[in-house]
Amino acid sequence: MTTLSNDLEAGRYFVPVPSRWPIRSAVALLFLVAGAALWLNRGGSGPYVLGIGLAALVLILFGWFSDVSGEGAQYNSQVDRSIRWGMAWLIVSEVMVFAGLFGALFYLREISVPDLAAGGRSADLWPGFAGGWPVTGPGLPGDLKAMQAKGAPTINTIMLLCSGAAITWAHHAAERGRRAQLVLALFVTLALGTAFLYNQSQEYRHAITALHLTLSQGAYGGTFYVLTGLHGVHVAVGATMVAVMLIRALMGRITPHGHLGFDMVTWYWHFVGIVWLLLFVIVYVI
C-alpha cells in the first residue's frame, strides 16, 4: 500500500492486479448461451443450464464490481480519465451492435421484402408472395400479426423514462452528499428496471402462446426477438450495476468526491433508455 501511495504521488499510472473475473464471466456466458440454445431446441436441460449461467453471471458481476469499487480509492486523475474513455468506447461499440441490427431490419423491410414481391428473378425465390410486413419466409406459415405498441411496450417505455429520471436524481443527490435521496432514487431505478424485465417476459409469453410468434418464424420473429432480447440483456446487466450501486450507497461508499463507478452506471443506464426509445419506434410503431 505504501508503494502504491508513492506511485500515485509520483504521478505514475496505476495498473490493477491481474483479475480472474473475465474468464469466469466467459464460462458463465457459455452456460447462458448453451442453455438458451437447448431451451429453444426443446432440450429438457435447457432451462436449468440457462439458470446456472444466469445465476453465475449475476454473482460474478457483483464480485467484479466489488473489486473495482475497492480499487476506486486508489485511482489518480489519469486513471479516472482512462476509465471514462473506456466506458465511452464501450457504449460506442454497443451502439454499433444495435446500429447493425437496426440496419438489418431496415434492409429486410425496405429492400429485401419489396424486391421479393416485385416480380422478376427475385420472385422465383418466393412464388406468390404479395409483400407486406410482418413476413415469415418461403415455406413458413404467413399468418403473423405485428406486435402492437399499446400495452406492455408503452408501459415499458414509460418505466424506462421514469427510471432515467430517477437515476439522474440519484446522481444529483450523490454530488450533493444527500445519502437518503441517493438510496431512494437508486431503489426506484432498480424497481423500475426489474418491472421492465418482468413486463417484457409477460409480453414474450403472450407473443408465443396467443400470437404463436417464435424465433423459428422467419424474418419478423427473428428480428423481433433478437432486438428486444438483446436489449433485455442490457437492461438486466444495467439493473445488476444499479443494485451494486445501491448496496454501496447503503454502506456510505458513494460520496460527493468518490462516485466514478456510479457515473459509469449512469451513462450505461441512459444508453439503455435511449436504445429502447429507438427500438420502440422502429419495431413497434413504424
Query: CATH number of the domain that 105 lies in?
Result: 1.20.120.80
Please list, in sequence order, all residues whose beta carbon lies within 8 angstroms of the beta carbon of residue 150, skipping any fewer than 6 positions away: none
SS3 11: coil
Same domain, 149 and 85: yes
Q: What are the pLDDT digits (tens) for 43-56? A: 888 899 999 999 99
For residue 4, pLDDT over 50 is answered with no
For residue 124, pLDDT over 80 is answered with no
For residue 246, pLDDT over 50 is answered with yes
The CA-atom distances, in angstroms, between 190 and each of 118, 163, 237, 249 are: 49, 8, 11, 13
The pLDDT of 231-258, averaged and rounded, is 91
How confident is residue 74, by pLDDT bands cut at 50, 70 and 90? low
Last residue of a domain, one of 74, 103, 132: 74
SS3 258: strand
Torsion angle defined by CA atoms of residues 218, 194, 164 and 274, in that order, rounded to the nearest 10 degrees: -10
Last residue of a domain, one of 41, 74, 107: 74
For residue 156, pLDDT over 70 is answered with yes
For residue 215, pLDDT over 60 is answered with yes
pLDDT of residue 193: 97
How confident is residue 18, by pLDDT bands cut at 50, 70 and 90? confident
What is the number of other CB atoms lying within 10 angstroms of the CB of residue 156?
26
Same domain, 93 and 70: no
Same domain, 52 and 119: no
Same domain, 136 and 221: yes
Number of domains in the chain: 2
How confident is residue 72, by pLDDT bands cut at 50, 70 and 90? low
| Residue found under cell 449461467 | 53
Same domain, 67 and 191: no
Percent of the chain with pLDDT over 90: 52
How confident is residue 12, by pLDDT bands cut at 50, 70 and 90? low
How confident is residue 178, by pLDDT bands cut at 50, 70 and 90? very high
The pLDDT of 17-34, averaged and rounded, is 91
The pLDDT of 143-162, averaged and rounded, is 91
CB 246 within 8 A of CB 170: no
The pLDDT of 110-135, averaged and rounded, is 79
Cis bond before residue 134 (omega within 30° of 0): yes
Same domain, 146 and 272: yes
pLDDT of residue 65: 76
CATH number at residue 17: 1.10.287.70
Same domain, 135 and 153: yes
The more confidently predicted of residues 117 and 158 is 158
For residue 134, pLDDT over 50 is answered with yes
The pLDDT of 109-137, averaged and rounded, is 79
pLDDT of residue 3: 46
Q: Which range of residues forms the domain containing residue 37?
A: 1-74
